[in-house]
Amino acid sequence: MKKIIIISLLLIAFSMFADLEDAAIIVSSGNVNAGESISIDIATSELIEDYDVISFQFEMNYDPNTITYNDFDEGDIFTDGMLLVNETEPGNLIAAYSHYEAQTGTGVIIRLTFTGISGNSDLDIHDFKFNATPINNTTDGSITVNGQNLLPLADAGADIAVDEETAANLDGSNSYDPEGNNLTYLWTAPAEIILSDPTSATPSFTAPTVTEDTEYIISLIVNDGIHNSLPDEIVVTVINVNALDNVPTHITEVGIHSISPNPFNPSTTINFLVPCDETSVEVNVYSVKGQLVKGFHLSGLVPNSLSRVTWQGTDERGNAVASGVYFCQIKGASSKAYSRMLLLK
């Protein structure tokens, strides 16, 4: 009689184990537009109380060039306990759940969220276990991405020149995403340039003290939630203001004190001397053929002073000029001065 009871108990236990082993796991499928998110359900067949399910775990593989993993959420059955999902590397997820009380029911056990990039990706679920029982009856899912997510474009703005120890601003607000997705920003600057917020579209900084005119390269990368853009760079020229202190105390004729930066792209600042008895001068830019490219007629200047004008590398119509050598002329009432400039693109 005792043997019959033991055998009966073993048969019951084996039957329960076999039933749990036969549970079915189904991964949903779906379509999503490039750049948009999709929720994928992982569901189970009915779990009864006798199964005593207190944990599950699985791995999933997908194509990281087609979709990116975003996040997870609990399903309809396992709403208590601890649920974790770890992306060990792009294209591989490991999920695990545990609780001290057995869970029962049928339906979604976990939801995963992905963002579409382009193409098609299988959602290969494997090594699934309820408790320590392997579940081999699994159905993979898939995601089809409609369209293709294009790279966002970073625009760090135009090169700028700023006096040392002077506040300045960067402007990446002209960056954009072809699909219209919101962008995040990341500026990278040399150690001498301390940005107020490297993740802002328009950070500010104070130009460092320099012993001579110095160029710094600052780059911007934007992200649309899926892709990083290619970096866009600008050149920030910090002008050594103290060098401008070397000005004659009595200026009798016009002169070119300095042109900075030189070479330049796309703009440069022309610092010139204003004679003691004059308040207006002409600043003319000529090509190597002697043709007038750009003219400035400046009035209301302070006599016997150092003044400046910035040439943006454009002609009289506002069109950008070609790379090459240009000549700057400062013309006063009775004197002239010349210097050479080099525009490099």
Coil, strand or helix at 83:
strand
**Pairwise CA distance, residues 312 & 320, whole Å:** 8
Fold annotation for 247-343: Immunoglobulin-like (2.60.40)
At 4 the pLDDT is 45
Q: Where are the domains of the chain?
A: 2-146, 160-241, 247-343
Quote the Cα angle for 139-44-92, to 5°. Answer: 55
Question: What's the Cα-to-Cα distance from 23 to each of 104, 134, 138, 334, rounded to whole Å?
Answer: 12, 10, 9, 99
Residue 243, pLDDT score? 58
Residue 301: half-sphere exposure toward Cβ, Cα within 13 Å: 26
Query: For residue 260, what are the CA distances in angstroms to 171, 233, 263?
Result: 22, 19, 8
pLDDT by residue for the chain (345 residues), tens only, comes to: 444 444 444 444 444 444 788 899 999 999 998 888 999 999 999 888 888 999 999 999 999 989 999 999 999 998 888 999 999 999 999 999 999 988 889 999 999 999 998 889 999 999 999 999 999 999 999 999 988 778 899 999 988 888 888 899 999 999 999 888 899 999 999 999 999 999 999 999 999 988 778 889 999 999 998 889 999 999 998 887 765 566 788 899 999 988 888 888 888 889 999 999 999 999 999 999 999 999 999 999 999 998 989 999 999 999 999 999 999 999 999 999 999 999 987
**Does domain 160-241 sit in CATH 2.60.40.10?**
yes
Residue 339, pLDDT score: 94
The answer to whether 201 touches 173, Cβ cutoff 8 Å, is yes
Question: 3-state DSSP call for residue 34?
Answer: coil
Helix, coil or strand: residue 194: coil
Euclidean distance between CA atoms 8 and 104, whole angstroms: 25
CATH architecture group of domain 2-146: Sandwich (2.60)
2-146 and 160-241 agree in CATH topology = yes
Bridge partners (DSSP) of residue 88 are none
What's the rounded Cα separation, in Å, for the pair 187 and 181?
Answer: 19
From CA 302, how far away is CA 279, in angstroms rounded?
Answer: 6
Q: 115 vs 20, 35, 62, CA distance in Å?
A: 33, 6, 12
**Burial letters for 293-302: b for 16+ Cβ neighbours within 10 Å, e otherwise?**
bbeeebeeee
Give me the pLDDT at residue 285, please. 97
